[in-house]
Structure 1
Amino acid sequence: MANFQLELVSPEKLLLSREVEMAIIPAAEGEMGVLAGHAPMIVALRGGTIRVRENGVETESLFVAGGFAEITPTRVTVLADEATPVADLSRAEAERRIAEAEAAYAEAAMDTPERRDAAMARLLSMRAMRDAAQAA
């Protein structure tokens, strides 16, 4: 099967840059599998896990807290707001961040729709982090 270049970049560093067979990314509209030759597009990401497949086997899982992915037939570049290997996630840390996000959402209840939407997206992202930490 043909491979493509996958790059995962967070504000802190380049986390991944190599040829892979398939990547499953948490697009805002739902999980999306990407193979070599995919149609070009840019998609928004929600909080969730990027799963990397090589030689028919899942080789890596990384949690992203949102961002964007640029997809071309030969490359996928993920620009993540925050990214962490799933193995490094802590359920306790995720619970703490959920509590913070819930408080921020409650505070935004009477704010603009945009602030409420952003607070809800953060809360959902932190819940996805907790779910990924449990699965690890």
Structure 2
Amino acid sequence: MADSFNFELVSPERLLFSATATEVVIPGTDGEMTVMAHHAPTMTTIKPGVVTVVTAEGNSERFVVFGGFADIVPEGCTLLAESAVAVGDIDRSDLAQRLQDAREDVADASTDAVKQKAQEYLDHLTTLEAAI
């Protein structure tokens, strides 16, 4: 059996998920990363995407996150999401609204830097929509 560690997914509203895990895949802003037991201490920002958790019992849980950051230590990982929901509970109309808002943000951008950031967020949401 693989070593396990504590994992918690927290949103501003509540603790969404807490379990002993063997593996967690996080959509980091620099690329996806897999967290396992005894991981080197790391703090990373996350982009909109899907977090996949493999529990110590062998179950796989998937959550959609809309940004935030992850704090990783050898004994565990805490993911603090700006917003998160279980994939099975995703509200397609909410995602569609977020996509529409992001498109409007790109169109309304006043500077190149603002436009680039808005476009990156739109790209993340588009990828997320395709993933779920």
Normalised by the size of structure 1, how large is the TM-score?
A: 0.86
Counterparts of 2:119 and 2:80, CA distance in 1: 20
More deviation in 34-43 or 56-65?
Answer: 56-65
* Unaligned segments of structure 1, at least 5 residues: none
1:99 CA displacement: 1.1
Partner of 2:125: 126
1:98 CA displacement: 0.6
User: 1:11/1:112 Cα in 2 relative to 1: closer, same or farther (>3 Å)?
Assistant: farther
Report how many aligned residue pairs link the two structures: 131
Counterparts of 2:65 and 2:112, CA distance in 1: 26
Partner of 2:30: 29
Counterparts of 2:106 and 2:52, CA distance in 1: 29
Q: CA RMSD in A?
A: 1.8
Give a deviation string over 1:88-134, Cα, whole Å, max 9, x none. Answer: 113333222211110011111x3261x334423432343244224xx
Counterparts of 1:7 and 1:128, CA distance in 2: 24
* Unaligned segments of structure 2, at least 5 residues: none
Counterparts of 2:39 and 2:4, CA distance in 1: 11
Question: 1:9 and 2:10 equivalent?
Answer: yes
Q: What percent identity do the matched residue pairs reach?
A: 34
Partner of 1:42: 43
1:42 CA displacement: 0.5
More deviation in 14-23 or 49-58?
Answer: 49-58
User: 1:12/1:125 Cα in 2 relative to 1: closer, same or farther (>3 Å)?
Assistant: farther
Question: 1:103 and 2:116 equivalent?
Answer: no
